[in-house]
Amino acid sequence: MFWRKQYQIDMFRLPRHIAVIMDGNGRWARRRGLPRTAGHSAGADVLKTIVKECNRIGISYITVYAFSTENWKRPKEEVDYLMGLLLDYLRNAEKNLAGENVVIRVLGARDGLSQEIQEQIIKTENFTKDNTGIVMNIALNYGGREEITNAVKNLINDVKTGKLESADVNEEAICSRLYTENIPDPDLIIRTSGEQRLSNFLLWQCAYSEFWFTNKNWPSFRIQDLKKAIYDYQKRTRRFGGV
Ligand code: FPP
């Protein structure tokens, strides 16, 4: 008989914000003799399931690393495919997440994206902005260093033009100039595929995040794995620098 461990999650101590580095799409595809793009497509399907489950159990925010500022270095066909997949995801968000009440937001340097994607982002964000369920942040053309550099430039400009006193440059002033303005820091960061690094994801925001890694590639990630990650997270003691 097939036996599967049930993870008892404490619904009163859920992570408020989960961030995911969806790694291993290419390896998943290669092991099956498929093109890398098939891995991304399977990854996008898994993402829908995971967002729905997070919403169902009551997670308030999920942030997913869909395309980094460094991913432009990939072969053109792969970049084009990923951009197409993202465009479809944004276009079909209403259909795919129908009844799910999901708010979709995009974090990253939008001006580096095609006009078509930029317009679709605005449409999808507007369409979902009054939903009351989980907030799904899609990190797209996102880089943590770029985000911080941008915030610093913005601060300098505001000081120069007299909108901000230099004495008022503090953590709050920086936070309010990041793409994640008004979004709480991630409590839990999940990375798949056995890699254990941040890869320029949420560098400022992860100061006190808990990390959880699995050897599974993203397209093989299941609801059971999500539950295990939350279960393990709940066993940890977070001290935020205190005792
Ligand atoms: C990393 O795997 C994955 C990416 C760079 C893209 C992630 C995108 C998706 C899961 C699908 C699209 C997302 C949305 C929001 C529709 P990799 O290609 O680096 O895998 P590898 O390390 O095995 O080569």
* DSSP assignment string, 173-236: HHHTTSTTTT-PPPSEEEE-TT----TTSSTTTTTT-EEEE-SS-GGG--HHHHHHHHHHHHHS
* Separation between Cα atoms, residue 40 and residue 79, nearest integer Å: 11
Asked if residue 23 lies in contact with residue 218, where contact means CB atoms within 8 angstroms, the answer is yes
Closest ligand 1 atom to residue 43 Cα is: 10
* Separation between Cα atoms, residue 211 and residue 188, nearest integer Å: 6
For residue 243, pLDDT over 80 is answered with no
Count the Cβ atoms, other than its own, within 10 Å of residue 26: 21
CATH of region 17-143+185-234, choose from 3.40.1180.10, 3.40.640.10, 2.40.128.20, 3.40.50.300: 3.40.1180.10
Segment 179-189 mean pLDDT: 98
The pLDDT confidence band at residue 5, using thresholds 50, 70 and 90, is confident
Asked if residue 177 lies in contact with residue 159, where contact means CB atoms within 8 angstroms, the answer is no
- pTM, full prediction: 0.95
Mean pLDDT of the chain: 95
For residue 6, pLDDT over 90 is answered with no
Q: Report domain extents, the chain.
A: 17-143+185-234
Catalytic residues: 23, 71
> Could you report the per-residue pLDDT of 123-140, keeping only the tens digit for each?
999 999 999 999 999 999
> Could you report the per-residue pLDDT of 207-239, keeping only the tens digit for each?
999 999 999 999 999 999 999 999 999 999 878
- Establish whether residue 40 lines the binding site of ligand 1, counting it when its CB lies within 6 angstroms of any ligand atom: yes
- Establish whether residue 47 lines the binding site of ligand 1, counting it when its CB lies within 6 angstroms of any ligand atom: yes
- Establish whether residue 142 lines the binding site of ligand 1, counting it when its CB lies within 6 angstroms of any ligand atom: no
